[in-house]
Amino acid sequence: MESDLAQFLHPGNLRLIGVSFLTTASLSFLGCTIGFLAGFGLALMRHPRIIPFAPARWLAIIYTETFRRIPFLVKLMVVFFAFQFAGLNVSMFTVAVTTVALSAAAFASENVRAGLESIHNNQWDAAETLNMGGFTALRRVILPQAWPVMIPPSMTYSVGLVKSTSIASQIGLFELTYAARIMSGKGISAALAYGSILILYFVLCYSLNRFAAWLEIRLATSRHRQTQRQL
């Protein structure tokens, strides 16, 4: 047991854990950020009062409905082979980030759409009759009211995606789960190998939850911000 711990605490092993943790963290962060921005764009394409152009709406709907329904592993393989087919020699990290982003975009698109639709049409009507353009209305009137609806499900999903990144070990990406497999292969007990990454996944997801809570307060309209602080 002692040699087990010594092996675990060996600088080389700690470095392995550190690097893989950074990979998982940056993969999650990059993938979710790019995905959320893309999903936001898709949701705007679907909104007739922002982009009143039907083909854009259809395109966004087809993308969202398709990509929400494909399992992560399948998406990962499709992206992997798509890059190969296109003759692009990209790193496994790029493949994984692309997959996370594609998944996040589809879900963010739904969450943002739900947020936008939660705001009553009469707010749009009022903005329109005051001569506010679609984007001004969106920024000044709609989004400040829609954030509270959009953020919680988006963050829940992001946590899900952080967990899904473990699947990227299947294509040989050196992230947390892969690191645990290597450690346990090197003779470190499974409890220690997997127990340590369990904690790291928790740290990552918990930070994300804290960030979401902060974001919710930050983006809430000022009066609601006050009441939330009191709570």
Partner 1 sequence: MPHLVIDKLSASYDKTPVLRDVDLSVERGDIVCIIGPSGSGKSTLLRVLVGLLKPSAGSVSVAGQKINYDSAQALKEVRDRFAVVFQQYNLFQNMTALRNVTIAPTIVKKRARSEVDQEARALLTKVGLGDKFKSYPDELSGGQQQRVAIARALALKPEVLLLDEVTSALDPELVGEVLDTIRVLAEDGMTMILVSHEMGFVREIARKVVFMADGKIVEVGTPDQIFNAPKTERTKEFISRILSH
Q: Taking phi first (over 0 means left), then psi (-120 to 50 degrees means alpha), and beta for anything else, what does residue 172 get?
A: left
Find the binding residues for partner 1 in span 17-76 (CB under 8 A): none
Range list of H helices, 47-169: 54-67, 72-85, 92-117, 121-129, 134-137, 143-164
Token digits of residue 217: 């307060």
Q: Which residue has the tokens 């000044």?
A: 140
Q: Quick check: helix, strand or coil at residue 173?
A: coil
Q: Is 141 in the site for partner 1 (CB under 8 A)?
A: yes
Residue 151 touches partner 1, criterion: CB under 8 A: no
Q: Is 136 in the site for partner 1 (CB under 8 A)?
A: yes
Contact between 127 and partner 1 (CB under 8 A)? yes
Among 14, 22, 130, 203, binds partner 1 (CB under 8 A): 130
- CA 17 remoteness from chain centre: 22
Residue 140 binding partner 1, by CB under 8 A? yes
Stretch that binds partner 1, among 38-46, 123-131, 169-177, 200-208 (CB under 8 A): 123-131
CB of 130 to partner 1, least distance (A): 4
- Tell the smallest beta-carbon distance from residue 141 to partner 1 (Å): 5
Q: Does 226 bind partner 1 (CB under 8 A)?
A: no
